[in-house]
Amino acid sequence: MPININRLSAEIEELASYSAVPAPAVTRILYSAEDQAARAWLREKVIEAGLSIREDGLGNMYVTLEGSDSGLPSVATGSHIDAIPYSGKYDGVVGVLGGLEALRSIREQGLQPKRDIELILFTSEEPTRFGLGCLGSRAMAGNLSAADLAALTDADGNDLESLRKQAGFTQPLDKVQLSTVNYHAFVELHIEQGPRLERDKLDIGIVTSIAAPATLRVTLKGDGGHAGATLMPGRRDALVAASEIVLDVEKAAQDSGSPDSVATVGLMQVHPGAVNSIPSDVLMEIDIRDTQLATRDGMVARIQQTIADVCERRNIGVTVEVLNMDAPCQCGSQILETIESVTKDKGYSYKTLVSRAYHDALFMAQLCPTAMIFVPSENGYSHRPEEFTAAAEIEKGVEVLAETLCSLAMQ
Find the CATH number of the domain harbouring 235: 3.30.70.360
Please indicate, yes or no, whether residues 55 and 202 belong to a single structural domain of this protein: yes
* Domain stops at, among 270, 296, 325: 325
The Cα 224–Cα 316 span in angstroms is: 12
Please indicate, yes or no, whether residues 166 and 196 belong to a single structural domain of this protein: yes
Please indicate, yes or no, whether residues 403 and 259 belong to a single structural domain of this protein: no
Please indicate, yes or no, whether residues 333 and 201 belong to a single structural domain of this protein: yes
* Domain stops at, among 295, 325, 355: 325
Rounded (10°) angle between helices 391-409 and 93-108? 60
Please indicate, yes or no, whether residues 182 and 263 belong to a single structural domain of this protein: no
Q: What is the DSSP string of 112-178?
A: --SS-EEEEE-S--S-TTTS-S-HHHHHHTTSS-HHHHHT-B-TTS-BHHHHHHHTT--S-GGG---
pLDDT at 70: 85
Q: Which residue, 275, 324, 284, is CA-closest to 133?
A: 324
Please indicate, yes or no, whether residues 277 and 187 belong to a single structural domain of this protein: no
Whole-structure pTM value: 0.91
Please indicate, yes or no, whether residues 60 and 15 belong to a single structural domain of this protein: yes
Please indicate, yes or no, whether residues 241 and 183 belong to a single structural domain of this protein: no
Please indicate, yes or no, whether residues 304 and 392 belong to a single structural domain of this protein: no
The Cα 81–Cα 95 span in angstroms is: 9
Q: Give me the CATH number covering residue 186.
A: 3.40.630.10
Please indicate, yes or no, whether residues 333 and 399 belong to a single structural domain of this protein: yes
pLDDT at 338: 98
Domain total of the chain:
2
Q: Which residues contact 309 (CB under 8 A, 6 or more apart)?
A: none
Please indicate, yes or no, whether residues 17 and 156 belong to a single structural domain of this protein: yes
pLDDT at 356: 87
Please indicate, yes or no, whether residues 301 and 379 belong to a single structural domain of this protein: no
3-state helix, strand, coil in the chain (%, to 5): 35, 25, 40
Domain that holds residue 175: 5-211+328-409
pLDDT at 213: 87
pLDDT at 1: 80
**E strands present in 222-348:** 262-271, 281-290, 317-325, 329-330
* Domain stops at, among 325, 342, 366: 325
pLDDT (tens, 9 = 90+) of the chain, 411 residues, equals 899 999 999 999 999 999 999 999 999 999 999 999 999 999 999 999 999 999 999 999 999 999 999 899 999 999 999 999 999 999 999 999 999 999 999 999 999 999 999 999 999 999 999 988 999 999 999 999 999 999 999 989 999 999 999 999 999 999 999 999 999 999 999 999 999 999 999 999 999 999 888 999 999 999 999 999 999 998 999 999 999 999 999 999 999 999 989 999 999 999 999 999 999 999 999 999 998 999 999 999 999 999 999 999 999 999 999 998 998 899 999 999 999 999 999 999 999 999 988 899 999 999 999 999 999 999 999 999 999 999 999 999 999 999 999 999 999
